[in-house]
């Protein structure tokens, strides 16, 4: 049986992620809030444990994509967009090596 606490935890996690990803963008924050609430309301009548697990998996995947892939952009002028990545998205940039190193 599916635990309703899992559904509630996913709901809260999606909203926390939304607040981090769309920080300082009121329009995106509101649109994401409406979409999350709409999807949960749309599926409130689902009772099949398999279907609920499938929906939880989809919601978890969406949360992961938001957290790992979305970067904010700010229009600085008509033709310029400034990207504002979050600290957790920045990774060490290791240069690509075309030729493998030889072991002595």
Q: Taking all residues of the chain, what is their mean pLDDT, rounded to a whole number?
A: 88
pLDDT score for 104? 64
Res. 6: pLDDT tops 80: yes
In this structure, how many other beta carbons lie within 10 angstroms of the beta carbon of residue 97? 7
């Amino acid at each position: 049986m599916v635990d309703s606490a899992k559904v509630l935890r996913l709901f809260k996690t999606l909203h926390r992620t939304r607040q981090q990803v769309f920080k300082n963008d009121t329009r995106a924050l509101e649109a994401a809030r409406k979409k999350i609430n709409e999807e949960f309301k749309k599926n409130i009548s689902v009772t099949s444990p398999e279907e609920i697990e499938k929906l939880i998996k989809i919601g978890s995947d969406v949360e992961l994509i938001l957290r790992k892939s979305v970067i904010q952009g700010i229009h600085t002028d008509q033709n310029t967009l400034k990207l504002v990545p979050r600290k957790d998205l920045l990774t060490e940039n290791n240069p690509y090596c075309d030729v493998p190193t030889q072991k002595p």
